[in-house]
Amino acid sequence: MVDFRDIGLTKNPYKIWNRGALGALGVDYLTIGLLAAVLSVVISVLSIVVSLVRSVNDLRERLARVEDRLSRVEDKLNWLMKDFMVSLIERLNKRGIIEDVDAWKMALRGIVSTTTNPLTEAERRRILELVDKGEDLTPEEADELLRLARKLYDEYREKDPENAMKALYYAAAIRGKVYGKYGKKLVD
């Protein structure tokens, strides 16, 4: 080991480093270099994180827009499945084109008999009375059956979409048949 006093630098070899603030702390150039390297890595990682956060926020915004669009598509499909198909079934059954609707009738009875359906007890009894009458309903009763079936569909379609749709189709078919029997024009 070299004795710095022998080469005439100073009595204390560390006085060379005492000139600056870092030197006063006992930090040498190697440590400063390492700190600079670590700092550059930290800055690079932070810039990557900021970039990723921006990308995630952009994705969230895009997903929110996609979700809004899908919601609108779902609303349109609901209209198509509910209103358009109900109207079509009414008109087809009014002309006698649709024949066997017993499967739809069974679906309606099944939903009405479940305890989780949205109908009140009075509405349940009434819908079962109307279903029992079948094609012998008056146009007003057919309208009431369709109104109750729509309520059932609107509030029950999340739990059992297939049977809720069948129940609605049955009410539409019966209404079409009754309107045809009475010679009434179908108007919603």
Q: On the CB side of 101, how many CA atoms lie within 13 Å of its CA?
A: 28
* Least reliable range by pLDDT among 10-19, 30-39, 76-85, 157-166: 10-19
The number of domains in the chain is 1
Rounded to whole angstroms, how far apart are CA atoms 188 and 178? Answer: 15
Q: Is residue 85, in this structure, part of any structural domain at all?
A: yes
Q: Is residue 60, in this structure, part of any structural domain at all?
A: no
**What is the chain's mean pLDDT, rounded?**
78
Q: Is residue 161, in this structure, part of any structural domain at all?
A: yes
Angle between helix 121-133 and helix 102-113 axes, rounded to 10 deg? 160
Residue 61: predicted pLDDT: 92
Residue 158: predicted pLDDT: 82
Q: Is residue 105, in this structure, part of any structural domain at all?
A: yes
